[in-house]
Amino acid sequence: MSSASAISLRGVVKRYGDLTAVAGLDLDVPVGTCVGLLGPNGAGKSTTMKILTAQAIAQEGEAEILGHRLPGDSKAARARMGVVPQQDNLDQALSVRHNLYVFAHLYRIPRHEREAAIERALEIATLTDRADAQVKELSGGMRRRLLIARALVHDPELVLMDEPTVGLDPQVRQELWALIDHLRNEGKSILMSTHYIEEAERLCNTVVVMAKGRAVAKGTPHELIAEHAGESALEVYGPVARLAEVEADARDRGWATRRTGTSVTILNAHVNGDYPEGIRRASNLEDVFVLLTGEAIH
Amino acid sequence: MASIASRLRASDEPRRLDRHSILGVLVREMINFTAYWKSTTFSSSVEPTIYLLAFGFGLGALVDQIDGHTYVEFVGTGTIATAVMMSSVFSAMFGAFFKAEHQHTYDALLAAPVDTEEIVTAEALWIGLRASVYGCIPMFVAMIFGLDPAWGMFAVPVIAFFTGFGWACFGLIFAAILNSVDHFSYVTSTIVTPLFLCAGTFFPISTLPSAIEFAANFNPVYHCVELVRGFIFNTQSFGDVAFHVSVIWAFSFICWRIAIRCQTKNLIH
């Protein structure tokens, strides 16, 4: 089973009218690994997540989760996985414990194990102290932890996380990263969508870069950087006119560049070469991301 | 450690209309109900009381007897059927809309091993159960104003349950096909109010033009009213009961299937 895939998608296509949200996606999540779907808004990450829970039905392609074919066998697959949604859909009027209790039922945990399962989920999410608080009293970070606890109450083999840290403070994000890392070390298979580069870099064994409904690159963060952005990059600062000049010059020489707000970054800048004055830094996944998914924000 | 999910796998593959899923959604409704039961119960008791007072004393002063019953007896029994309809249609319609659009509850449920069919079934069952209690409230109020106790009253919660189930499904249909709460008032004024009035609740349908009197045979509220009166006044034959029960079951079954279809279309893309 160790070489098998927890998730396997082949040529999946999903159209909404004229809009093609997912355009022939191939995706594998090997058992026990964390795969990150990295892409800008509108790349098809959330639609992919919906296809995996059979809330969206693909028009073409094949999808399998833990050996169950979708959408026909989706319910059996859903019984064995947990889903952390992007949008808070907790029961606001209920306590933390009651939210977990409902899902302990839905995930068909036998009666005599329910209490222990809820306590365990509370502990993982460090919400034991707030178990009897109402959801509407919780902070954003606590709610997100509760969403994760709810997805883990039945100790699933696979966890789907759709933008698990979107909209949270950096401190809270660190906390959630530690929690997700813990799950990874426990051997759970994880598929997580994100548009935070640092998140993918820190947590994912494999990153799949998505753009316009397709997987445009795949590999470990290191591989992706080495392959697409090279070892180092050069950031050139200056007034707008100077930046345009550097950009034009780079284009003539066939160098890849990207705008980094106040500077222009020349990617794959070799140690020896006739480069303009600038600050040299290690290439990162963000360089890859922008290179592969385009500069313009749609 | 073998995970809970894998231990359950062999013996417990989720099925269609799986009892675990239905029970889970019911449990969710029940726990949530503990948070808002006071306001719901208040309006469900006060409304029929106002109808009874207004019609019973207002109109009752002008009306001597209808079909051999005092007006309070007539309206009191009629209000049971309307209380069942009102409490079921509106809580299903607004509840489902709120859960779909604002709280995203259905997204949460559908990511667990639950299908739309089970959500619709469980919510209608729950509203049916509530209707079996709320349907009895106007009966108790009418008893205070002079409705005589009868053994047939024990049938009322059962009738209210099956009719309430159907009305809940009816509300779930409109929650799925209308995309704004503002549009719900169209349902109220064009469907709910006519059904409510042309059902022999406040006056016998025999006073209506014959075309409407005939149309009332297709009105589930009418059949619910007839069943309730028949049981409480002990005036109906087995054939009458079978006829009214069949119509209510047919109505509930058809609404149930349509609600599943419409909600699926709404929730699964």
Could you give the ipTM of this predicted complex?
A: 0.87
**pLDDT value of residue A298:** 39
CA-based nearest residue in chain B for residue A79: B113
- Which two three-digit tokens encode residue A277? 């004055």
**pLDDT value of residue B206:** 86
Contacting residues of B for A102, CB less than 8 Å apart = 24, 27-28, 31
* CB-based contacts of A30-33 (< 8 A; 24+ apart in sequence): A30/A3, A30/A4, A30/A5, A30/A6, A30/A189, A30/A206, A31/A1, A31/A2, A31/A3, A31/A4, A31/A5, A31/A6, A31/A157, A31/A189, A32/A2, A32/A187, A32/A188, A32/A189, A33/A184, A33/A189, A33/A190, A33/A205, A33/A206
With a CB cutoff of 8 Å and minimum separation 6, the contacts of A204 are A34, A35, A36, A192, A221
Residue B26: which pLDDT band, with cuts at 50, 70 and 90? very high
Mark yes or no for CB contact A94/B32 under 8 Å. yes
Judged by a CB distance cut-off of 8 A, whether residue A191 touches chain B is: no
Least confidently predicted of A10-24, B18-32, B54-68? B54-68
**pLDDT value of residue A297:** 44
Most confident of A226-235, B34-43, B141-150, B243-252: B243-252
Percent of chain B having pLDDT more than 70?
A: 96
How far is Cα A275 from Cα A268, in angstroms, rounded to an integer? 11
Helix axes of A221-228 and A285-293: crossing angle, nearest 10 degrees: 60
**pLDDT value of residue B1:** 43
Phi/psi at A182 (5° precision): -60, -45
* pLDDT tens per residue across span B134-171: 999 989 988 988 889 999 999 999 999 999 999 999 99
How far is Cα B25 from Cα B140, in angstroms, rounded to an integer? 31
Judged by a CB distance cut-off of 8 A, whether residue A155 touches chain B is: yes
Tell me the CA distances in angstroms from B27 to A63, A103, B22, B251, one per residue in order: 32, 10, 9, 26
Least confidently predicted of B3-12, B198-207, B216-225? B3-12
**pLDDT value of residue B12:** 66
Q: Are A210 and A196 in contact (CB under 8 A)?
A: no
Least confidently predicted of B2-6, B102-106, B154-158, B163-167? B2-6
- CB neighbourhood size of A65 (10 A): 28
Contacting residues of B for A88, CB less than 8 Å apart = 104
How far is Cα B150 from Cα A136, in angstroms, rounded to an integer? 47
**A53, A59, A49, A42: which is closest to A27 by C-alpha?**
A49
CA-based nearest residue in chain B for residue A134: B35
Contacting residues of A for B267, CB less than 8 Å apart = 55
- Which two three-digit tokens encode residue A102? 């409902």
Mark yes or no for CB contact A55/B31 under 8 Å. no
**pLDDT value of residue A2:** 41
With a CB cutoff of 8 Å and minimum separation 6, the contacts of B222 are B198, B199, B200, B205, B216
Alpha-carbon gap: B60 to the closest alpha carbon of chain A (Å):
44
Alpha-carbon gap: A157 to the closest alpha carbon of chain B (Å):
7
Residue B24 in this model has a pLDDT that exceeds 90:
yes
Beta bridge mates, A194: A38
How far is Cα B25 from Cα A108, in angstroms, rounded to an integer? 12
* Length of chain A measured in residues: 298
How far is Cα A117 from Cα A155, in angstroms, rounded to an integer? 8
Which pTM does this prediction carry? 0.89
Contacting residues of B for A67, CB less than 8 Å apart = none
Measured CA angle at B58 (ends B55, B59), to 5 deg: 65
Beta bridge mates, A161: A84, A192
With a CB cutoff of 8 Å and minimum separation 6, the contacts of A27 are A7, A8, A9, A12, A35, A37, A48, A208, A215
**pLDDT value of residue B180:** 86
List all residues of chain A from 65 to 94 with a beta carbon under 8 Å from chain B. 75-76, 78-81, 83, 85, 87-94
Alpha-carbon gap: B88 to the closest alpha carbon of chain A (Å):
21
In DSSP notation, A115-142 reads HHHHHHHHHHTT-GGGTTSBGGGS-HHH
Q: Are A87 and B107 in contact (CB under 8 A)?
A: yes
How far is Cα A84 from Cα A160, in angstroms, rounded to an integer? 6
Q: Determine whether A131 is exposed, middle or buried from the number of CB atoms within 10 Å of its CB (0-12, 13-18, 19+).
A: middle
With a CB cutoff of 8 Å and minimum separation 6, the contacts of A244 are none
Residue B15 in this model has a pLDDT that exceeds 80:
yes
How far is Cα A102 from Cα A98, in angstroms, rounded to an integer? 6
How far is Cα A144 from Cα A165, in angstroms, rounded to an integer? 8
Judged by a CB distance cut-off of 8 A, whether residue A154 touches chain B is: yes
Mean pLDDT by 10 residues, chain A (298 residues): 78 93 94 92 91 95 93 93 94 94 94 94 92 93 93 95 87 88 92 88 91 90 84 87 87 83 83 79 84 64
Q: Which amino acid is at B27?
A: V
CA-based nearest residue in chain B for residue A93: B35
Alpha-carbon gap: B43 to the closest alpha carbon of chain A (Å):
20
Measured CA angle at B139 (ends B133, B143), to 5 deg: 140
Measured CA angle at A285 (ends A283, A291), to 5 deg: 85
Mark yes or no for CB contact A101/B31 under 8 Å. yes
How far is Cα A126 from Cα B226, in angstroms, rounded to an integer? 57
Q: Are A114 and A155 in contact (CB under 8 A)?
A: no
**pLDDT value of residue A278:** 86
Judged by a CB distance cut-off of 8 A, whether residue A248 touches chain B is: no
